[in-house]
Structure 1
Amino acid sequence: MTSNIYTHFHPDEHRFVDKAEEWITRAAMFHTVKLTDFLDPRQAFIVQSLANRAEGVRIRFDGGYEQAERRRILIAPDYRDTESEDTGIGLLSVTSDDTRFSRLDHGDFLGSLLGVGIKRDKLGDILVHDDCCHAIVASEIIDYVHLHLRQVHRVNVLTETIPLSKLRSAIPTLEEMNLTVASLRLDGIVSDVYRLSRSKVLDPIKSGRCKVNWKPEEDPSKQLREGDVISFQGFGRFKLVEVEGETKKGRIRLKIGKFV
């Protein structure tokens, strides 16, 4: 890859960019087919960007349902019928008779799934309901997860592999909060959302522990925009839902949605 392409990506992304470029080159020049693990939206954007620059390549996204956030990508020569290819997506249903089950959240299920010894890349979206959790899992490991997942946050659970046609999608729950801020700087908004001092968010941001729209952002003065999704390692993520205007004192009113 020519060095000028790197200017479009964060240094932390260069290793993934190299891998994605290799997948695309192999598909175009050596007629190989690559099925990726589950990618986050930023990684999917990188693959799409590189594929758009290449000739003789076709890609297909699949996360198990139309609104999926995490998706696998099939990268193939452009003469292949990718729609007929298996994208290796399975669906695991998790249930329990324990009354505490309805209080479990996304983080509880994610932590327990990873706790059986699998990598995050093998998991797609995790859709949490009061009476069940539907976890999209790479089909090559779903039987392993089915056999080993027995507890979620000390709640005994039952698992079952079910057809994707039975998937119950879920709208992410956002806990709304209203803020007034002096500016749309990243560090200021993060500190207000998580009730941390500005000094406690500066170092984590500068060390790459914060992402804006799934892209690492190390500039504390980054100006956020309506619709941005911000993740702060160890604290979760939130969305800048709306910039509502200014107060009489010139501060900016924001509506924030914290993912819960």
Structure 2
Amino acid sequence: MATDLYSHFHPDEHRFVDKAQEWIVRAALNHAVKQTDFLDPRQAFIVQSLANRHGDVNLRFEGGYGQAERKRAIIAPPYREIGADEADIGLLSVTSDDSRFSQLDHGDFLGSLLGVGIKREKIGDIHVGDGCCHCLIASEIIDYVHLNLQQVHRVHVLTETLPLDRLQAVNQTLEELNLSVASLRLDGIVSDVYRLSRAKVLQPIKSGRCKVNWKPEEDPSKPLKEGDVVSFQGFGRFRLIEVEGETKKGRIRLKVGKFV
């Protein structure tokens, strides 16, 4: 692939860029149809960018419902119509009679799904609601998960496969924080959100454990802006909701939402 194309992407993304380029070339030149695993928004952006650059493919993203964050892509020759059902997304309902079930969170369900031996790329959005959790999963492995997922964080659970139109989508809750920071630097805001010293966030950022809008970010001084979503490995993620202005002492007031 041309070096100038690589210049648009982080080095950690080059491997995925190569794969995505191959999918697109095969669709355009060899009339192949590619169904991807679930992509995060950054990966979907890369696929869309490469498809736009090539121009001779038909591309469709499906995540099981309209507001999905994680989606599968179908890449096909330009003459090939693509239906929504070709994404092959299944819905798994997880319930339990155990009173501790209501205390489980998104991370508990994700960890237990990965614990049965499947890859993260086979899992779409996870919706934790009152009394049940609905997980969007690649259809080719959903029966395996149905048979093998028996516990979530030591809570015994029951599973059932449902049609997609039974999905109970839940908007992820944000715990709002009001902060006063010296600048919009990434390291400063991360340290304030997670109540860590600046020294404790510097090295993880520099070593690639932080992403901004799903893109690896190794520059601690990168300024954040409204709407940015930051993930910090081992601590979760947050969104910079609003830059509210300056205090009398010249500090910047922020409203941040931690995903819970």
TM-score above 0.5, yes or no: yes
Distance in 2, Cα, partners of 1:168 & 1:84: 19
- Relative distance call for 1:84 and 1:229 in structure 2 (3 A) is closer
Residue in structure 1 matched with residue 200 of structure 2 by the alignment: 200
| Aligned residue identity for 1:71 | K
CA distance in 1: counterparts of 2:179 and 2:252, whole angstroms: 8
Taking the TM superposition and a 5 Å limit, the aligned residue runs for 1:146-225 are: 146-225=146-225
Structure 1 residues 251, 230: CA separation in 2 closer, same or farther (over 3 Å shift)? same
Instruction: Output the amino acid matched with 1:199.
Output: A
Which one-letter code corresponds to 1:87 in the other structure? A
Cα distance in 2, alignment partners of residues 84 and 116 from structure 1: 28
CA displacement, residues 74-100 of structure 1 (integer Å, 9 cap, x when unaligned): 000010011266211000000011111
Give deviations 1:137-167, integer Å, cap 9, x for gaps. 0000000000000000111100000000000
Q: How many angstroms apart in 2 are the aligned matches of 1:207 and 1:46?
A: 22
Q: What is the aligned partner in structure 1 of residue 33 from structure 2?
A: 33
> Structure 1 pair 169/180, CA: closer, same or farther in 2 (3 Å)?
same
| 1:144 paired residue number | 144
d(CA) in 1 for partners of 2:187, 2:213: 15
Q: Give the whole-Å Cα distance in 1 for the aligned partners of 2:116 and 2:46.
A: 30
Unaligned 5+ runs, structure 1: none
Aligned to 1:13: 13
Q: Does 1:230 align with 2:246?
A: no
Instruction: State yes or no: 1:89 paired with 2:94.
Output: no
* Conserved 8 A contact 1:239-1:256: yes
Is the 2:6–2:14 Cα contact (8 Å) retained in structure 1? yes
2:28–2:76 contact (8 Å) kept in structure 1: yes
Q: Kindly tell me: are residues 243 and 131 of structure 1, through their superposed partners in 2, closer, same or farther at Cα, counting changes over 3 Å? A: same
The alpha carbon displacement at 1:56 in A equals 1.9
Rounded Cα–Cα distance in structure 1 between residues aligned with 2:195 and 2:138: 37
Partner residue, 2:66: 66
Letter of the aligned partner of 1:192 in structure 2?
A: D
Shift of 1:40: 0.2
Task: Flag as ranges the 4+ runs of structure 1 deviating above 4 A.
Answer: none
Q: Separation in 2 of the partners of 1:168 and 1:85?
A: 19
Matched to 1:95, the amino acid is: T
Is the contact made by 1:175 and 1:259 (CA closer than 8 Å) also made in structure 2? yes
**1:55 Cα shift?**
2.7
1:167 maps to a residue whose letter is: L
1:161-219 Cα distance to aligned partner (Å, 9 max, x none): 00000001111100111100000000000000011110110000001100000000000
Look up the equivalent residue of 1:244 and give its one-letter code. E
Verify the 8 A CA contact 2:62 2:84 in the aligned structure 1. no
Q: Give the TM-score normalised by the residue count of structure 1.
A: 0.99
How many correspondences in the alignment? 260
Letter of the structure 1 residue corresponding to residue 13 of structure 2: E
Q: Is the CA contact (8 Å cut-off) linking 1:38 and 1:121 kept in structure 2?
A: yes
Change in Cα spacing, 1:169 to 1:85, as seen in structure 2 (3 Å) is closer
Distance (Å, rounded) in 1 between the aligned partners of 2:85 and 2:15: 27
Match of 1:257 in 2: 257
- The residue number in structure 1 matching 2:47 is 47
TM-score after normalising by structure 2: 0.99
